[in-house]
Structures are given as structure tokens and as C-alpha cells.
Structure 1
Amino acid sequence: MFNRIGRIRLLYIVLGMLLVVGVVPLALAGWLLSDRTAVELGSVERRYQAQLVQDKARQIELYGQRYRDMVTGLAQAFELAGGVRALNEEGSDARLRKVLQSDPNLIALYIKPVQGAQHGDFQQNIIRPEEVDERVGEVLALMNGAGPVLSRPKIIRSGQEMALTIAAPVMGGADGNQIEAAVVAIVSFREVFKAVQQQSRMSEQDLLDKGLPVVFVVDSEGRAVAHPDERIAFSEKPMTDLKVVQDWQETGTQVQSALAPFTVERDGRKIEMIGSYATAELDGNSHLGVIAIQDERAALASVSDMRRQTFVISLAAATFALLIGFFFAKILTQPVQELAAGAHRIAGGDFSRRIQVRSRTELGELGDSFNLMTDQVERFVSDLQKAADENRQLFLGTVKGLAAAIDGKDPYTRGHSERVARFSVAIAQGLDLPDEEIEKIRISALLHDVGKIGIDDNILKKPAALTDEEFVLMKQHPQKGFKIMSQIPAMREFLPGMYMHHEMIDGNGYPQGLKGDEIPMQARIVSVADTFDAMTTDRPYQRAMKFDDALARIKSLVGTRYDERVVASLMAACESGQVRPGSVRLKRPHKERMTAPPPTEQPLTPHVQSPVA
């Protein structure tokens, strides 16, 4: 699997390490810090909310206590003044009206005797007389002793005002234990509304969206009696759909205050809420619940802001680290890249350049050592190349000497192997064969008649045509050459031309009777070159054919004796002037053509040949 993965540049590894070592810890620390801050901030918000509802509950209790004390004080004042008889004194109604007008929270103030007409006054712009009578009747129905009583807060429909009714008995009689009258006050709940409202008049949803607590008051039945949104209180909407209200109703007066987190569903989403409640005790039988709710996510929005800031800072730090890291990483990796490039050049055989590593670190020392190694490798390779060239020249000299020795057995065949080799190379170049293959063909052509060493000189030098028996012996020279050269491992690449150059395309050749593509290209080329040289040189029993006649004769044997492409390449070489009577102009090898001078013609000295080439 790892072999399929490309190499990773050292520069990227260094930059990655900078990010991992520098930026990741910063981002991780920021994230953990924000989590810790969220926990702490959530705890602070809960404590604040719990304290908030407790403070609001105490304010409501003090507000109720204030007017309960006022009503009780008026009742006691009437008791001291003679009870119901004081109502008949001149100016008593005026004093009640003065008390009513001096306190804007008083909506109505009455003294209701058990016997006789009631005395008092009310704010006519807020409440109607029948509403006063209704409330007075309700609170008096609750009175059963010497202490004050309170009714639950109720909406005054005519004036759209929430109000609380308080009553205290005026005791009298012989023993002072009889109720002669009652002082009744209808008190506005406006101050309670002010206590639960925020400074800006926003709706409940706006408050929640901004992460602010929404504080409201409910009665024992869970109906809102004071709310930042007056419409909710004036509609006496039940708030029991909120779990925090349910929790307060269940605990009642047993728990003065508590935290009660809960979940609400809004627009198909579940929202975690912070909830708390406290109990405001107006008297022993009348309790109100002060409830606070808050969107936890919005309340902790600062944590989200902190996380965003952490992300931005981490991103900026990563960018800065990448820029600085890229600069220093380039400085650090440049010598390594130089070393890698130098190694690639050496692997490609280029020893002409040395790397330039200017550094006072170990990389500079490595660069100097690399250059020294390059010098030594260059000298070593040069020595190897020189030795290889010498060995090749020795090999070629040996091959040429062996070919010359073979040709030298008969004065008519002298130079034949060299000419066949040059014709073969010209044909191979016309076929655009690789340089390595052309060289194999050249050596194979030089040695194509090496088997004639094993043929009797009388047959080789016979100045006339061979008999059938002599020709059978002559046809054995490919096998003899193969047997001699196959014992030498270095000669195996050249055997096809030696062994099969007398095979024919139609299968009538020798020694194996191969045909078509069974004959290697090396043998097909040597076959045409051998015949062409035999046709264009003199023999003791026949003169050489004319150049064009020889080409026509060879062309006529295409498909029977010779390969069509090989013959076409010979024809093209002759037409281009590369092969001319008496000379062959060979092309330079591919790798030398760009720099070598133009090729020169080499003359071919014709000799008289023996009867068989």
C-alpha cells in the first residue's frame, strides 16, 4: 500500500510539524478553556438567576407586607376611635379619601360595617363600583378571624390593571372579640410588574433570544399575575406548560427557592433552558411563585464568541506559522533538495555539476562530502568506461581478426565479412532499429562465416562450382559456427545471424528450414547483405553483377528467399546514396548524431570470391 503513495516533500513535513506543535495545542487549549468558561459561566448564571428570583420574591413580600400593615393599622385606629361609631363622626370619609389620594398604588379604600352602609372611595378611572363590590365581597368571604386576609391578584377588566385585595377586621363588642367592620383596600400590582420588567420593554422572545432572564409571577394555580409582557398577565394565561412552574407547584411552600433546568420545544427544536423559582409569601394562606427562565445557549453566547475568536486566532496563528515556517523550511530543505537533485544527476550519468550548499550546519559538511564523493564516483566511472571501451575494442579487434582469418583462407573472400557487416548496418539503420540491436547485427555479420573454419580448404578454395557432395559439406558451416560460438556466453546474442543467415522466407533454406517470422530479423538482414556482396564481387567462375542488376535480382526473390522490409531498406539505402558501388556511408548512432560530425564514406575494395559466399 505504501508503495502506491508518492513521496512526500520534506518541506510539507516540516510545515505539518509546525502546525501540530504550534497551532494544535493553541486551538486545543482555547477549546478547553472555552469549555471551562462555559461551565463556570453557566454556574454563575444559575446562581445569579436563583438570587434574582429570591430578591424579587422578597420585594413582593415587602410590598404585600406594607399594605397589609397599612390596612391592619387603619383597622386598629378605628378600634381605638370607638369602632363603627367613629364612622359617624364628621370628616371620617374625607380622611379615608385623603389616604386613598396620597398613595397612587391604592385603587380603592373602604370600611365595611357589619351593619350599615360602607364608607370610602375609589379611583373611578381604574375600577367601576360593581367591580369594587365584587372584590370586597370576595375578600370578606375569606375573613374568619382577627387577622388580615388577602385574595389572589385578579385583573380589573375596566381599567386593565392587576390588583390585590386586602382586608383587616375592626374588632369591638363587650369583650372586643366581635367583628364590627372591616377595612378593605384594593392595591395595584403595578409595582410588582415593574419589579419583573427589564429596563427596555422587550417581548419575552426578544429577552430569551438575547440571553436575558424572563421573570414573571404566578399564583397557586399557575396563572401569570405579573409578566414583562402585560398581555400575558392580563389574559391570566396558565404557565403550567413550563416544567419549572410545575416544579414550583409541586414543592409549594416546602422550598423557598430552587434551580430547575428544563427543556422546551420551539420551531421543532429542543432548547435547553435555565430555570429557577422562589416563593413569595403574602400571608399564611396566600403564596405567589416568582419564576425566572433563560435560554442557556443564548445566555452562554459569549462562550460561542470566545470559541469563534479562538478559531480566528488559531487560524491567524496557523497562517503566520505557515508563512514563517515556509520561509525557514525552504532554508532548511533547500540543501536537501540540492543533494537530491545532485543524486538524480549522478544516477543519470551526469557528473558535470557540483551542488552548492552554503551552510555552517551539518548540511554544509554533507554537501562538501557529497561533492567529494561525486568526484570519486566520476573518476571511478570514467575508469570503468575506459576499461569497458578497451575491452570492447579488444573484443571487436578479436572478432575482426577472426573474420579476417576466415576470409584470409581464400584470397577471393578477403574483406567479405567486413563488407557484409557494413551492408547489414546500413539495412538495419534504414529499418530504424535501436543502436544496441544494430551493433549486435554488425558483430553477427562479421562472424557469419566463422563456421568455415571447419570446412576443408579444398572445398573453400575450389575455383569451380561445387559438386552436390561438396555443397552438402559446405552447408554445414552454420552449424559448425554455432557449435563453436555457443560455448562462449558473450556470443549468444550474435548466434541468430551466424546460424540462420541461409534460412529462406519460404522455408527452403538451411540448416533448420525455418520460414517467415520464425527467422529472426538479425538473420534476415545478414542473409540479404551476404547475398548482395556475393552478387557484386567477382568470382573465379563468374564476374560480378552490375549494381542495378544485383538489386533487381534480390528484389525478385522477395517472399521466397528474402524479407520484404529488409530488401526495401536495402533499396532505399541504395537510392539515397548511402550504399553505392564501392562504398557504404553509415549513419552515426542515435545518441551521437546531435554532436558528431557528418559520417564519412568508407570504400569497399572488391575481391574475387570463391564459388559460395
Structure 2
Amino acid sequence: MGLLARLRSSLTYPIAATLVLVTVVPVTLVGWLLASYNREHLTFVEKRFLSLEARGLAGEVSEFLESHRIQLQSTVRGLEAGGAIEVSGFEQLLQDIAGEQDRAFDYLQILDERGEGTFVRSPSLTAETESILTEAVAKVHATAIGGEPVERLVTGLPGGEATKAIYGFPLRSATGVVWGSLTGVLDLDALQRRFDENARAGFIVSLFDEDGLVLVSSHPRLRGRDLAASPLVRDLLRRPVHLTSTYRHPVPSVADDVLGAVAPVAGAGWGLLIERPTKEAYAPVRVAQQRTLVVSALAALVALALGFVLSRQLIVPLQSLTGISSAIAEGNFAVRADVKGTDELAQLANNFNHMAGSIEALVRRLKQALRQNQELFLETIRTLAAAIDAKDPYTRGHSERVSSYSMAIARHLGLSQDEVFRVRTAAILHDVGKLGIRDGILNKPGGLTEEEYAVMRQHTAIGAQIMEPIRMLKDIIPGIRNHHETWDGTGYPDQLVGDTIPLVARIIGVADTYDAMTTKRPYQEAKTLDFVLTRMRQMSGSRFDPMVVNALLAAVAAGDVTPPSAAPGPDAQQEVS
């Protein structure tokens, strides 16, 4: 068949050729030009914005530091005007300063030359931080009492606390004799919170000192890091001017290529660096893509006008197929195309209908398979739990009961359906590690020796190791490993404390102990419900998370948790379930 005959037998070739010539070539060219223009324009605008933002934040930092420094200096002048008096009477003055709005002093102190005086401290200071600050403040006082003002930074505080700035000023009598000092510890956490606001907009903001050491940063990995290798920081340390640049970030784990701007902090000798990853900065290039779409639409209209007669037979059926495909994309797999004829479009419609039918049947099979897989999964873990419980006749059904109690607690905690499912799965398998414990220990009547109890305690780590290779169960491993951790940190295997214990493990721990006390064990009889609930309340806050215990109590009150049996008996021994 010749070329002319092929063109006449199908509308595809002439329309395709027309659309390529009229739309594809110009649209591609225009799109490339628009993208190039927008990238250059965005770079200019982004650098300008970053420069203005850096100057503004540097001004805020300078104002923050200066306002606190002026507050201390004003206090010094007031004290000097009053002369050397009994310093113990200044406690109210220090409390007034610390209590002023927008003040961020963690520690204020007035001492005389003998080291006697008064101070106020923030109640939020930890004992470890307070010890470090007390030593630093003592050194500042020793310097200030010599007649020289002191400014010092305290970095690397425990628990990731923000850097503290210490200001010390000598106090002089009317004759100029130094009789004491005023010291203030400024918490830079207020700057940290301010920087975090920018972080939510995709910016990385860091405040560094005269050596390039990061004092405060919106990115946790930059806090305390030396940024002297950053080109902007290096240039500002050489000459304190406003700079912007695009460069490779010196800490690869933070970002790759970034747009950055730096500004000096007046009066402090520090610098303010604000950065934004280029991937985020150039996201607005979508504007160029939208312009490309507009141009494409115009070019398509021209193409349609030129090929209207030839395309009439193609466009109408295609529009019908487009609507049907959209309906199928939205989940309506029962819709079918109705295009009559014997040409390529009719064949396409028939193939499309066949494809839609195949997809509909496949989706039905997939849904059925998913339900079957979920049921098989649950039956599998139930079987595994039954095998665990079968090793110990006294705990038969223990895993299913703990799972039931855990689900009830999770629902009363307001967890989502997916979270409740994960809690359920973890609870069923929480004792899977007992498969690695000798039967002689599991079934021993009476209490265990210290050596046997040490072996028994290994079942949590063994269970985590058993489940670790199963990727789809990785979310439940914390519940298996840590369900014997205690709120006060005396549990095992990791001695986690409080909220550091995964919630799923805290839930299972409460449910596990509840079942241990309400069922008969080799070492104890089942307890009455009142006795068990009293004991759970007593252990709330020491062994268990009070929030989880309250959820258990609510579940019991609502009838969602009921013990299998109850009988009076002596106080519960240490359970090892």
C-alpha cells in the first residue's frame, strides 16, 4: 500500500502530522524559554527575599540581645545610684525583672565582694543544667567583681537545651569602688522558637558566633556545628556585610544545593544565616509550566481550526472515550464506551470495553484476595500465639485476652482503626519470644530464681529478633520488645522512661499485667476485680502510664474489658508473663 493510500485510509496520519507541526514544536520551544526565564527570575527574587529576611531576623536578634543587656545595665545604674546596701533585699527586684513580659532570663544574681547576696532561677532548669550554669555564673562574677563587664556563652547543654548567654556587670559605689556584681543568664530558646516559625516555611535559619559556631538553629543537626566551612559564613567572618549566594551545603545530611543569605548581628559580633534548598526554591517553576499549558491550548486551537474537517470524525468519539476513562479513573468500572462503526475508533472502543471489564474483574479479585490475606494473616498470628500459650498451660489463651484488652484500651485512648489493628497484632505476638525460653522455666511452679528470671526477661528481646526479618511487622516490634518497660525506667530490656516507651508497649504492658492478676498462675490465684483495679491505680505513675491506666479503668467501667475469672487471694507476686 502506497503512502497516499495509507494517508487516505486513516485520519491518524494527517492529524498527527498537523498537530506535530502546529503545536509540539512551538510549544516545546516556548516552554523551554519560559522555564529558563522563570528560573532566572526566581533566583533573583529568592535571593532578594532571603537577603531581606536575613536582615530582618538579624535585627530581631540584635534587638532581643540589646533589650536584655539594656535591662541589666539600667538595673546596674539604679543600684549604683542607691549605693552599697544589704544585697539580700534585692530578691524582689530580681523577681520583678525575671517576671517582665518578653523577658527570657533563666538566672539572675546579685552578689557582693564576699560572695553573699541573692538570686532567682527559672524553675524549668534541670539539675544538670543548673549545675553547669552555677559554675559559669561564678566565673563571670569573679571577673565582674574585678571591675570589667563580662559576656560569655554556654553551649552544649544537656538534653539539647538552647545556648545560654551570660552577662555580668560590676556594681560600684558612689566613690567608684566595686562592691558587687549583677549577673544575668539569657535563654536563647526564644530565638529558637522564632527560627522554628521560618522552618515551617521551608527555611533553615542559624545564628552563629564570631568563630562560626552555631548557637541556635531551626535544624536540629546544625545546632552546635561549626559552619566556618560555609562560604557565606566564611565571608561574613572576614567582613561583616550582607551577602547572598548559591552553594553546596557543608552538611550534606541537612541539604544539597541551597540559596543562602547572611547578615551581621549588630552589637554582638555574630551572624544570621538563612538558607533554602534549591529544590524548594525552584518549585514555583510550575508557573512556567502553567504558561506552557496556556500556550499549548492556544496552539491546539489553531491546529483544530486547520484540521477541523479531518478531525471531526476523531474528536467526538475521543471525547466520549475521555469521559468514560475519567469515570473509570474515579472507580466506576461498570461504565462502557458506545462508539459505533468499523474503523480504528470502533476497534479502540471495543478494546477499551474489554479492558474495562478485565480491570473490573481484576479489582474484584484483588479485593477478595486482600480480605483473604488479612484473614490468613490474623489466623497465622493467632496460631503462633496459641503455640506460645501452649508451652505454658497456666497462660492458655493469654495472648488472645491481652490482645482483646489492648484493643479496648487503644479505643478508649482514641487511636485510629489502623493503630488499633497494630496494637491488636503486637499484643497477640507480645510473648513470641517465649518460644526461645526453656519449658522448665516457663512451667516451673512457684517463683523463679534470679538466674531463671534473668533468662525469662530475655523473651522480649528474643521476640523482637524473631519478628525483625518480617518487614510488614516492623511497626509492632516495639510492642513486643518494650512491653515490660516501666514508667519509672526500672523495666527491661532497655530501661526506657515515661513517654520514651512506645505507646503500643505501654498499652500491652497494662493489659498483660491485668490478665496476669485476673487469671490463675502457678505462683498465685486469680484476684478479684476490685483488688486488681486497686493495684492498677497504685502502680499508675510508677510502673504504668497514668493515661493508659485511666483508659483501662474506663474500658472496665464501660464493660469492654471483663476478666475471665476472679477469686480472692494474697497480694500479687512479680509476674513474668
TM-score (norm 2): 0.46
TM-score, scaled relative to structure 1: 0.43
Larger radius of gyration: 1
